[in-house]
Amino acid sequence: MDYSDLIKKLLAKDTRAAARLITIVENDITAAEKIINSIYSKTGNAFIVGVTGAPGTGKSTFISTLSKMLVQEGKKVGIICVDPSSPLTGGALLGDRIRMKENFSLENVFIRSMANRGQLGGLARATEDVIKILDAYGSDIIIIETVGVGQSEVDIFKSAHTVLVLMVPGYGDEIQTIKAGIMEITDIFVVNKMDLSGADRTVAELIQSIELHMSYKYDENINEDFAKIKQWVPEIVKVNSISGENFDILLNLMRKHRDFLEKTGIIQHYLKTRIKNETLQILNHKLKKKVNELMDLNQEQIDNYINQVIEKVLNPYSMADLLIKMLGID
Amino acid sequence: MDYSDLIKKLLAKDTRAAARLITIVENDITAAEKIINSIYSKTGNAFIVGVTGAPGTGKSTFISTLSKMLVQEGKKVGIICVDPSSPLTGGALLGDRIRMKENFSLENVFIRSMANRGQLGGLARATEDVIKILDAYGSDIIIIETVGVGQSEVDIFKSAHTVLVLMVPGYGDEIQTIKAGIMEITDIFVVNKMDLSGADRTVAELIQSIELHMSYKYDENINEDFAKIKQWVPEIVKVNSISGENFDILLNLMRKHRDFLEKTGIIQHYLKTRIKNETLQILNHKLKKKVNELMDLNQEQIDNYINQVIEKVLNPYSMADLLIKMLGID
């Protein structure tokens, strides 16, 4: 298929073309490849902000308020709500999305929900492609929202320049048990619902956690993908997303972090890591496709192997080795 | 390393050897390969039951009661609690696990928690290996508990012969939005906490959902992996996990489903699908390892490609193609 007309419209900032292309890259990796090939040279301008937090921390309202403030600053905002969670809990979240969407009659905000269809690895890949479309579409800031900080979120956040983690007063106990994982990805902790009692205690607990663990993002020893330099200690700000209180402080902290990334050159390092990760995701998909083709073309042989596993002549590990040989590697 | 002594003890039903081997296969796929190679011929006897449900549906108490009843029937029970969820919500769940563990001084119950360390694909692979160890250890029934029915749970449940999905009264709204995903994996719906008001309404809503959608597991059109024959309509039972009320009905339904699988020959079909999926998971890991080795051995070339992507001469898709060529495929 030819996507050149849609792409031309996208680059001319046509909202419908953006929406249409996003649907295409979500569902079809072959089409995604063609589309990204065409628009890649027009990408690289957007600043990417990741937002996460447990259910109930008020992410939708927070993002709604944050977006409005960014638009007031003259920014064009893209929002991607990614939900890698299960259908069992997914219903309510989708409801939030829809409610959030209704709040947005704003001219310069583009909002899109993505759910986990098909394979997990695929969601991070699709998110990367959607980011590129919103980037080429002219978004200055792209906000990626997820729930929690499991592996799929970490994969998705590999693309984010600044990561905000939302907390609410009264999550003290959990903070104590989870800090390692969270510290690793957080640039700014946002204590939302600051009007609730216990907000200051949550802030104090966060400060304590950070000090206690001497946890810095960009520590060389944490994790290859986030290994930068030990220079940024997670910032903390409490806000009220309904009244907008303290969002000025938050926006300043976000600017401070962006300056930090740019002045230290870490932002360039980010780009390299991101390209590497993205390429690996795509490679992984391409290899899976080749494996599927191999299995389709050699069904009889595969059935024969499976029967040998049932007879315990082979086992899944030795069968995998035989498939690798069939692929022509080794 | 040589694991023959541990394996000998495992096959002699030594609990410590089982625990030790599980830790090894969880953390080291190379060791897992050796161990599974050695024990594979002793596996294939256990019947595998998957249990899932949203947080708050009382899974731990339910499994605790179910296990006791199975033990009273003379069964040896293995329980694997798999938690693919995020660190943000994971804390409390782990607490449940520990509380549940304390309930078990039962001789014939082996309980083990697995969290998602490292890659997501890895959890399903490790779970398969843990199942095999508990199988070789002599478990008659292995219960796998997860939260929700996201992609990682579906991957894990590909091994389960019978899948129980827990509901509680008052989840009506969510049932309406989630049924497609749940129907696909459920053999028996268990409405837990039947003493709460609304239990009968939840049962009625489930019946309605099932009728409305004509959703059958084993429908040829649903999904390749669960595509069997259209014969089993999900059963529904309400229970009280504290008093044990209606567990006799549940056990009968579980037996009925097992008989169904055996009489129709679906259980054999399951085994083939399972072997295929497991082999693909292992193959995927082996390919990832090869890709990592390739990248380590050719760092200069990779950096060169990344720079070309930054200069927009290449993009992640075309770079992935170059890596596939370096791997020797195509």
Yes or no, beta carbons of B309 and A279 under 8 Å apart:
yes
Closest-CA distance, A107 to chain B, in angstroms, reads 31
List the single best residue of B145, B273, B317, B329 to mutate versus A (max A Cβ within 10 A): B317
Yes or no, beta carbons of B316 and A275 under 8 Å apart:
yes
The rounded percent of chain B whose pLDDT value lies above 90 is 45
Contacts of A245 by beta carbon, 8 Å cutoff, 6+ apart: A194, A239
Query: What's at A104, amino acid-wise?
Result: F
The chain-wide mean pLDDT, for chain A, equals 82
Q: Which of A36, A151, A287 sits opposite B315 (nearest CB)?
A: A36
Q: Tell me, yes or no, if B96 comes closer than 8 A to chain A by beta carbon.
A: no
Tokens of B329: 């495929």
- The reported pLDDT for the residue numbered A89 is 41
What are B160's strand-pairing partners? none
For A115, the closest chain B residue by CA position comes to B150
Q: What gap in Å lies between CA B277 and CA B271, rounded to an integer?
A: 10
Q: Are the C-beta atoms of A189 and B98 separated by less than 8 Å?
A: no
Q: How many Cα atoms are found within 13 Å in the side-chain-facing hemisphere of B83?
A: 23
Which one has a higher pLDDT value, B219 or B35?
Answer: B35
Q: Are the C-beta atoms of A226 and A184 separated by less than 8 Å?
A: yes
CA distances (Å), A217 to each of A168, A254, B75, in order? 22, 15, 50
Dihedral over Cα of B73, B78, B79, B84: its sign = negative
- A1-29 residue pLDDT tens: 789 999 999 999 999 999 999 989 988 88
Lowest mean pLDDT among A156-165, B216-225, B245-254: B216-225
Closest-CA distance, B72 to chain A, in angstroms, reads 31
Which one has a higher pLDDT value, B190 or B106?
Answer: B190
- The reported pLDDT for the residue numbered A177 is 44
List the single best residue of B25, B117, B129, B151 to mutate versus A (max A Cβ within 10 A): B151
- The reported pLDDT for the residue numbered A237 is 97
The mean pLDDT value for A92-109 works out to 57
The mean pLDDT value for A98-115 works out to 69
Contacts of A178 in chain B (CB under 8 A): 87-88, 90-91
Yes or no, beta carbons of A276 and B37 under 8 Å apart:
no
pLDDT of B229 strictly over 70: no
Q: Tell me, yes or no, if B246 comes closer than 8 A to chain A by beta carbon.
A: no
Closest-CA distance, A88 to chain B, in angstroms, reads 5
List the single best residue of B25, B86, B274 to mutate versus A (max A Cβ within 10 A): B86
Helices (H), B298-315: 299-310
Q: What gap in Å lies between CA B116 and CA A55, rounded to an integer?
A: 20
Q: What gap in Å lies between CA B225 and CA A58, rounded to an integer?
A: 37
Lowest mean pLDDT among A238-252, A262-276, A303-317: A262-276
- B91-125 residue pLDDT tens: 444 445 545 555 555 678 888 887 655 444 467 78
Yes or no, beta carbons of A319 and B275 under 8 Å apart:
yes
Q: Tell me, yes or no, if A291 comes closer than 8 A to chain B by beta carbon.
A: yes
Torsion, CA B258, CA B261, CA B262, CA B264, rounded to 10: 150
Yes or no, beta carbons of B323 and A119 under 8 Å apart:
no
Q: Tell me, yes or no, if B33 comes closer than 8 A to chain A by beta carbon.
A: yes
What is the residue-wise DSSP string for A200-222? HHHHHHHHHHHHHHT--BT-TTT
